């Protein structure tokens, strides 16, 4: 079957093909036409694309510009925000500043008030100052006067100083004179010791030889005269010895130590009691203090005073001798009271002089040097000596010694 259709059909298909080819030519022509048209369209399209590109470029440009503009805007906005914040800050600062100002104003007011008060005070003070200035002016005048006085006094002092200088020179002169006098005194006592005693010794020696060798050939009167010569020269020997002792005591350096007066009095009394063992003497001795003094010198004081008390009570059947002490502030006052013959107070100032005697030698022996030594020694201890008595009613001898070491 199929082949039969084909031939027929082929003719027809050929026809058809031709038709279709012509149609295709036509179509191709059409297509060319359309391709041209398309090219044109394409060209137009390219043109339009170019235009679009340009437009796009423009758009992009505009977009860029917009972006930039937007950035600008953002920046400005940010700036505005910052500016706003600044403003806010400033505003708050201003608020604070305002408050501060208000406060400061208050303070100023306060200060102003204070200043007013201060001004018033100042005004008052100024018045005071003026017053004082006036007073000062018066005081200045006073001072000027006082200065004049001072100058006057200074001149007087200068005169007094010169006087003092002169007196010092005089004192030095006197001191060196005193040293000289002391040396002379030493030479004197040396001379007394040696030169005065030698002839006395010779008198004694020859009187003695005369009496021992030629006693039998001497008349009674002659022996009596020789006795008196011997007696006098021996007395003179004692006087010289006493005088020497007195002079030595005056020159002797004193050594101050702590002394128990009880011990000194006890020691001094031992030989006195021994020498007067046949006598009836009642001793009353108070408890005595310690003193500062020279032991040897104060022993001599007690020896003299106690021997005197014994001596001047020898006419009494019962002698009473009392030793007492009085504590008187800065010194001790020692007293020796006896119930002896006493003396008349009108001669009291003679008592402590060298070789002064108130009683005849044949009644009471002694040269009269003892109390002079006592006076001398106590004086050298910066103390005093005195006595109270009544004839036939006993005597009391006193001496004081300062308590402090510096004497």
Partner 1 sequence: MDGLRTILLAEDNPKDVELTLEAMAENSLANHIIVVKDGVEALEYLRCQGKYKLRKTGNPALILLDIKMPRMDGIEVLRNIRSDDKLKRIPVVVLTSSREENDLINTYELGVNAYVLKPVDFKQFIEAVKQIGSFWAVLNELPPERSQ
Question: What's the closest the beta carbon of residue 296 comes to partner 1, in angstroms?
Answer: 13
Least spacing, CB of residue 178 vs partner 1, in Å = 19
Closest contact distance (angstroms) between CB of 183 and partner 1 is 12
Closest by alpha carbon to 236, among 192, 292, 269, 266? 192
Nearer to partner 1, 234 or 307 (CB): 234
| CB-nearer residue toward partner 1: 203 or 320 | 203
Question: Residue 290: left if φ>0, alpha if ψ -120 to 50, beta else—which one?
Answer: beta
**From the CB of 250, what's the least distance to partner 1, in Å?**
14
Nearest distance, CB of residue 181 and partner 1, angstroms: 18
Instruction: Choose between 183 and 282: whose C-beta lies nearer to partner 1.
Output: 183
State the minimum distance, in angstroms, from the CB of residue 193 to partner 1: 5
Q: Under 8 Å CB-to-CB from 238, ≥6 apart: which residues?
A: 367
Buried b (16+ CB within 10 A) or exposed e, 172-203: eeeeeeeeeeeeeeeeebeeebeebeeebeeb
Closest approach of partner 1 to the CB of residue 235, in Å:
10
How far CA 274 is from CA of 64, 271, 322, 340, in Å, comes to 156, 5, 18, 20
Name residue 282's beta-bridge partners. Answer: 320
3 state SS of 321: strand
CB 296 within 8 A of CB 334: no
Distance in Å from the first CA to the final CA of the chain: 193
How deeply is 346 buried, as exposed, middle or buried, from its count of CB atoms within 10 A (0-12, 13-18, 19+)?
exposed
Q: How many CB atoms lie within 10 A of CB 405?
A: 9
Give the largest CA-CA distance in the chain.
252
Task: Identify which of residues 234 and 276 has a Cβ nearer to partner 1 in the complex.
Answer: 234
305 with 336: CB under 8 angstroms? yes
Q: Which is nearer to partner 1, 239 or 348 (CB)?
A: 239
Cβ neighbours of residue 207 under 8 Å, at least 6 residues apart? 226, 229, 230, 233
**CB closer to partner 1, 167 vs 191:** 191
Tell the smallest beta-carbon distance from residue 190 to partner 1 (Å): 5
Residues forming the site for partner 1 (CB under 8 A): 189-190, 193-195, 197-198, 200-202, 204-209, 233-234, 237, 240, 244, 248
The least CB distance from residue 239 to partner 1, in Å, is 11
Chain centroid to CA 251 = 42
Q: Would you say 240 or 325 has its CB closer to partner 1?
A: 240
How many Cβ atoms are within 10 Å of 39's Cβ, its own excluded? 12
20 Cβ contact list (under 8 Å, min separation 6)? none
Residue (194 or 287) nearer to partner 1, CB? 194
Residue among 12 and 187 whose Cβ is closer to partner 1: 187
The DSSP call for residue 359 is: S
């Amino acid at each position: 079957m199929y082949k039969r259709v084909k031939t027929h059909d082929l003719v027809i298909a050929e026809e058809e093909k031709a038709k279709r080819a012509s149609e295709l030519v036509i179509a191709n022509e059409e297509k060319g036409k359309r391709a041209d048209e398309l090219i044109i369209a394409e060209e137009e399209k390219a043109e339009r694309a170019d235009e679009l590109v340009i437009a796009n470029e423009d758009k992009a440009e505009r977009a860029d510009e917009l972006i930039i503009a937007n950035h600008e805007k953002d920046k400005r906005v940010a700036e505005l925000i910052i500016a706003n914040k600044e403003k806010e800050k400033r505003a708050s600062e201003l608020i604070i500043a305002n408050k501060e100002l208000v406060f400061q104003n208050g303070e100023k007011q306060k200060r102003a008030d204070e200043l007013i008060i201060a001004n018033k005070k100042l005004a008052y003070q100024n018045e005071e100052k003026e017053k004082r200035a006036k007073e000062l002016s018066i005081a200045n005048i006073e001072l000027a006067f006082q200065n004049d006085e001072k100058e006057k006094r200074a001149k007087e002092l200068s005169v007094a100083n010169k006087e003092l200088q002169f007196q010092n020179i005089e004192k030095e002169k006197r001191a060196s004179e005193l040293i000289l006098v002391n040396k002379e005194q030493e030479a004197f006592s040396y001379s007394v010791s040696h030169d005065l005693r030698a002839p006395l010794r010779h008198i004694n020696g020859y009187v003695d030889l005369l009496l021992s060798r030629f006693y039998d050939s001497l008349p009674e009167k002659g022996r009596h005269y020789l006795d008196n010569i011997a007696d006098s020269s021996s007395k003179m020997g004692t006087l010289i010895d006493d005088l020497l002792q007195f002079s030595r005591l005056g020159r002797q350096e004193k050594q101050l130590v702590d002394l128990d007066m009880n011990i000194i009095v006890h020691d001094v009394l031992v030989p006195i009691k021994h020498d007067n063992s046949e006598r009836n003497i009642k001793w009353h001795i108070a408890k005595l203090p310690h003193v500062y003094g020279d032991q040897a010198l104060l022993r001599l004081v007690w020896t003299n005073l106690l021997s005197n008390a014994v001596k001047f009570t020898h006419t009494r059947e019962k002698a009473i001798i009392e030793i007492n002490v009085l504590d008187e502030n800065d010194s001790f006052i020692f007293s020796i009271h006896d119930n002896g013959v006493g003396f008349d107070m009108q001669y009291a100032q003679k008592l402590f002089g060298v070789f002064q005697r108130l009683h005849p030698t044949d009644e009471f022996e002694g040269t009269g040097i003892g109390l002079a030594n006592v006076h001398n020694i106590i004086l050298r201890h910066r103390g005093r000596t005195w006595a109270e008595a009544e004839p036939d009613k006993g005597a009391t001898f006193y001496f004081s010694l300062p308590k402090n070491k510096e004497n």
